Chains A and B, each alone.
Chain A
Amino acid sequence: KAGVTQTPRYLIKTRGQQVTLSCSPISGHRSVSWYQQTPGQGLQFLFEYFSETQRNKGNFPGRFSGRQFSNSRSEMNVSTLELGDSALYLCASSDTGVVDGYTFGSGTRLTVV
């Protein structure tokens, strides 16, 4: 069974630009959650999607958005990038949601310069 696939693995962007990250969950999993991981803050919840619907959202500004497609693949977009957005962005896949526990992808390392 293929794992959770995140692309790209690394990104370098300039302040003010926008970026789109992609996540393909484990086949059959319908829930995708996104987290930002930084050394100081740890894992911070961004949002969770289930069957194309956003079910929950963390405390991030509106520059952070996401969506999920009918095949459960999910994208996360960050507009008007700031230096503080530099982080590891992790996608987590589960069958029905949080009760199952997550399988994480390898992450996308975003550096904003």
Chain B
Amino acid sequence: QKEVEQNSGPLSVPEGAIASLNCTYSDRGSQSFFWYRQYSGKSPELIMSIYSNGDKEDGRFTAQLNKASQYVSLLIRDSQPSDSATYLCAVSLSGGYQKVTFGTGTKLQVIP
């Protein structure tokens, strides 16, 4: 079982729709959760971080965390063609484990 799993996609959504990206993780000790966006040929950039169960909103982005189900998701409202990229879910343990494990990413295509 992979430590962090994501559907590779591509996930295609029409412009203006809500894109829903999902991620599951295997280690129940995981404490910090991140979403990164990576455009083709570029390096990843941090979009959101979430540490507690529930929702966290930042503009058009909402991260959702459910530790009991070991599940984290990212919702993108009013999707734009510029959101087309690969979205990476990342998870880290606490307690001095300075290591972040990344999923292989979900490719999102927003169709104009």
Q: Is the CB of A105 within 8 A of B99?
A: no
Q: Which residues of A contact B34 (CB under 8 A)?
A: 101-102
Q: Which residues of A contact B103 (CB under 8 A)?
A: 42
Q: Is the CB of A45 within 8 A of B100?
A: yes
Q: Which residues of A contact B45 (CB under 8 A)?
A: 103-104
B17 is an interface residue with CB less than 8 A from chain A: no
Looking at the assembled complex, report how far the CB atom of B42 sits from the nearest CB atom of chain A, in whole angstroms: 8
Q: Taking CB as reference atom, which chain A residue is nearest B102?
A: A43
Given contacts A90-B43, A107-B43, contact A102 B104 (CB under 8 A): no
Q: Is the CB of B44 within 8 A of A55?
A: no
B88 is an interface residue with CB less than 8 A from chain A: yes
Q: Is the CB of B98 within 8 A of A50?
A: yes
B99 in complex: contacting residue of A41, A45, A101, CB < 8 Å: A45
Q: Taking CB as reference atom, which chain A residue is nearest B51?
A: A99
Q: Is the CB of B43 within 8 A of A101?
A: no
How many cross-chain pairs have Cβ atoms below 8 Å apart between A and B? 55
A33 is an interface residue with CB less than 8 A from chain B: yes
A41–B102 Cα distance when bound, in Å, is 10
Q: Which residues of A contact B101 (CB under 8 A)?
A: 45
Q: Is the CB of B98 within 8 A of A101?
A: no
A104 in complex: contacting residue of B44, B49, B51, B97, CB < 8 Å: B44
Q: Is the CB of B49 within 8 A of A101?
A: yes
B70 is an interface residue with CB less than 8 A from chain A: no
Q: A56-B98, A98-B98 are in contact. List 14 more A-B contacts (CB 8 A).
A: A31-B98, A42-B88, A42-B105, A50-B98, A90-B44, A98-B92, A98-B99, A99-B92, A101-B34, A102-B44, A104-B44, A104-B45, A106-B42, A106-B43
